[in-house]
Structure 1
Amino acid sequence: MKALSILVLLFLPLISFEHGSDVVLDDQKIDFNALSEQFLTNIKEGKDTQDLQNVLANASLEELESGLETNDQKTAFWLNIYNAYIQVILAKNPELYEDRSSFFKREQINIAGKMFSFADIEHGMVRKSQWEYGLGYIRKWFPGKYERTLRVEKRDYRIHFALNCGAKDCPPVAIYEADRLDEQLAKGTKRFLTKTSEFDSVKREAAVTSLFSWFRGDFGGKGGTKDILKKNGIIKSTEGVDLVYKNYDWTLYLDNFIEL
């Protein structure tokens, strides 16, 4: 704790927070949500992020646990961290994207002294310990201590329209705030589905993003997917509607930011 406090005091003059929160509260406690928001803000504005990365790396598991108390705080934090490191790592080494399978499984993100992969964050933290290849129907049997401690408490299908994996067909990057999370996820979901979905009223056929196929259990299967499309105004009725999954454009596409 003393080492981290010294580190924060050293870096604090170099870190400006523009979302109404400071990185340190009550002299010691780090506001990890504010830090994650500033991480993305710095990227968006072309500013350096190394000091913020250092604070994240040198924090302790206990500090993260106490700083991320609610489900919304955890969800917003991990969405921002995932999206931020996609931008940082691929902007510096775009060639890593040529082998995407290896890229997403590579442990390259230091959070509280533990190296995470993008797959660890997506499937472990944000999807609440889902097995990567289980289509959303099978959970991991033995998640580790960090994952059990820091993962979200409730799976929310809308995170799939918030995580940006660096590809052209990925959802754009927004800066998620814990106290506005539900509103932001609702807006982001509607925006993404409206942009990517097509409905042929003659064929009664909805062409939708492949995300609905890859994580079908998260969405409640085909029935759940149709309900989501109806809720977001893509279709007026779920009766007799067939689903067609579009091909996914994996072309590298960074700096795709939006405001929600």
Structure 2
Amino acid sequence: MKNYFFSIFLFLTYALTAQNNVDYIKTSQDLLTRIVNGESYEEEISILEKSTLTNLLTQLPKDKHKKAFWINIYNAFIQIHLNKNPSLFDDKGSFFKTKRIKIAGEILSFDDVEHGILRKSRCKISLGYLRKPFRAKWERKLRVDDIDWRIHFVLNCGAKSCPPVAIFSLDNLNNELDYMVTNYLKQHTTFNKENETASSSALISWFRGDFGGKSGAREILKNYGITPTKPKKLKFNDYDWTLYLNNFKELPKNLN
């Protein structure tokens, strides 16, 4: 009997140690890589399902870790669920708020990941100005300390106007985000030199508080070289919600 319990103890110790040794950011990258290549991703799903809050808190101590991991996770599971059942996109409100991602002992929705973790518990329909009070413990622990407006140009929700899906790393995250932001805004922004009016993505309008309001957004367009000067006026394009999956973009290897 003692040998039996000792064996159980050894097995549990091994299992716990193995899970603690998992590189979760790499797992998020591997998951997306397998999706892009059309390969099986069940192993990565299993690893994520077995993760704990302690596991993630240990490996995602700073905002850069959290962004690299959760952006990949969000984009991966969008592709997984909508490729399996495209009709889920017919009711977009339900799709984004339904719990679908099993991770860290919880089942999260896409809204939980985007607005709870990556946008620091911001209300979804407050233009980025209001924060939700009384959030769950896991959300308060996992969420970023500071909102990075660039996430809006790297999260792919499955629509045609969404940014393409890239696989983000920890070591070069800042340059990768800037690269994707610049590419997206160049494609979705026009500038009228005569009246100095820019027309850009509706994403800026929906979350304008994250950008520092319209003035902050106009400054961003100038600083990123999207417009030659800071626009005097900023208008927003219509958003194409047509379902558009497998829109992948490979990041250049040497970004600096």
Q: Same fold (TM over 0.5)?
A: yes
* 1:185 to 2:177 alignment: yes
Find the counterpart in structure 2 of residue 122 from structure 1: 114
Structure 2 matches for 1:70-89, cutoff 5 A?
70-89=62-81
Aligned-partner SS, 1:110: strand
C-alpha spacing 1:193/1:7, structure 2 compared with 1 (3 Å) = same
Structure 2 matches for 1:37-186, cutoff 5 A?
37-186=29-178
Mapped partners of 2:168, 2:209: distance in 1: 24
Find the counterpart in structure 1 of residue 209 from structure 2: 217
Find the counterpart in structure 1 of residue 3 from structure 2: none
How many angstroms does 1:30 deviate by? 1.3
Amino acid at match of 2:76: A
Find the counterpart in structure 2 of residue 254 from structure 1: 245
Match for residue 233 of structure 2 among 242, 247, 250? 242
Mapped partners of 2:205, 2:115: distance in 1: 16
C-alpha spacing 1:54/1:132, structure 2 compared with 1 (3 Å) = same
Match for residue 196 of structure 1 among 171, 174, 188? 188
Q: Deviations over 1:190-234 (max 9, x none)?
A: 110001101111232211000010000000111001001101212
Mapped partners of 2:17, 2:96: distance in 1: 30
How many angstroms does 1:33 deviate by? 0.4
Mapped partners of 1:3, 1:43: distance in 2: 31
How many angstroms does 1:169 deviate by? 0.4
Mapped partners of 1:44, 1:236: distance in 2: 36
How many angstroms does 1:3 deviate by? 5.4
User: 8 Å contact 1:4–1:58 — kept in the other structure?
Assistant: no
Mapped partners of 1:213, 1:253: distance in 2: 22
Amino acid at match of 1:213: S
Amino acid at match of 2:112: D
Q: Deviations over 1:16-64 (max 9, x none)?
A: xxxxxxxx7xxx4211000000000000000111221111111111111
Q: Deviations over 1:150-187 (max 9, x none)?
A: 11122100010110000010000011111111000111
Q: Gaps (5+ residues) in structure 2?
A: 1-8, 252-256
Mapped partners of 1:92, 1:40: distance in 2: 15
Mapped partners of 2:147, 2:21: distance in 1: 27
How many angstroms does 1:238 deviate by? 2.0
Aligned-partner SS, 1:206: strand
How many angstroms does 1:242 deviate by? 1.3
C-alpha spacing 1:5/1:52, structure 2 compared with 1 (3 Å) = farther
Mapped partners of 2:192, 2:175: distance in 1: 29
Aligned identity (percent) is 45
User: 8 Å contact 1:4–1:59 — kept in the other structure?
Assistant: no
User: 8 Å contact 1:30–1:67 — kept in the other structure?
Assistant: no
Q: Normalising by structure 1, what TM-score?
A: 0.89
Mapped partners of 2:144, 2:22: distance in 1: 19
Q: Gaps (5+ residues) in structure 1?
A: 10-23
Paired positions, count: 242
Mapped partners of 2:98, 2:159: distance in 1: 17
Mapped partners of 1:137, 1:194: distance in 2: 26
Q: Normalising by structure 2, what TM-score?
A: 0.90
RMSD in angstroms over aligned alpha carbons? 1.8
